[in-house]
Amino acid sequence: MSLITTLGLFLLTAVAEIVGCYLVLHWSKRGGGLWMLAAAAVALGLFAWLLTRHPAESGRVYAAYGGVYTCSALAWLWIVDRSMPTVTDVAGVTLIALGCGVLIVGSLRST
């Protein structure tokens, strides 16, 4: 699997997880219909299925995904929640992204 394909798959996985969790949070805090919980279940099911699409060992995939998820969550904070990331947010996510990059490159070489 190429680096671009791997990153795209991780990004799609992160969006599915964040959307699923956000819908549950929105439903519980602001109210919403059962459709919101159904959509959350579909998104979280898609998230779990997408994690299985990687050829590397599951532990390595989960570790690398954690970094992509963190970067995606910070983007969600900025775009959806309309809250500007702080300097420490950016510093932390930069460190995480570097570590995640090492894990992803390593997983591509091991398959």
- The predicted pLDDT at position 1 comes to 75
- The predicted pLDDT at position 110 comes to 66
Q: Please work out, in degrees rounded to the nearest 5, the angle formed at the alpha carbon of residue 14 by the alpha carbons of 61 and 28.
A: 130
7-35: burial string, b at 16+ Cβ within 10 Å, e else: eebbebbbbbbbbbbbbbeebeeeeeeee
- The predicted pLDDT at position 14 comes to 93
Question: How confident is the chain (111 residues) per 10-residue block, as mean pLDDT?
Answer: 85 94 93 92 96 82 86 93 95 92 79 60
- The predicted pLDDT at position 45 comes to 97
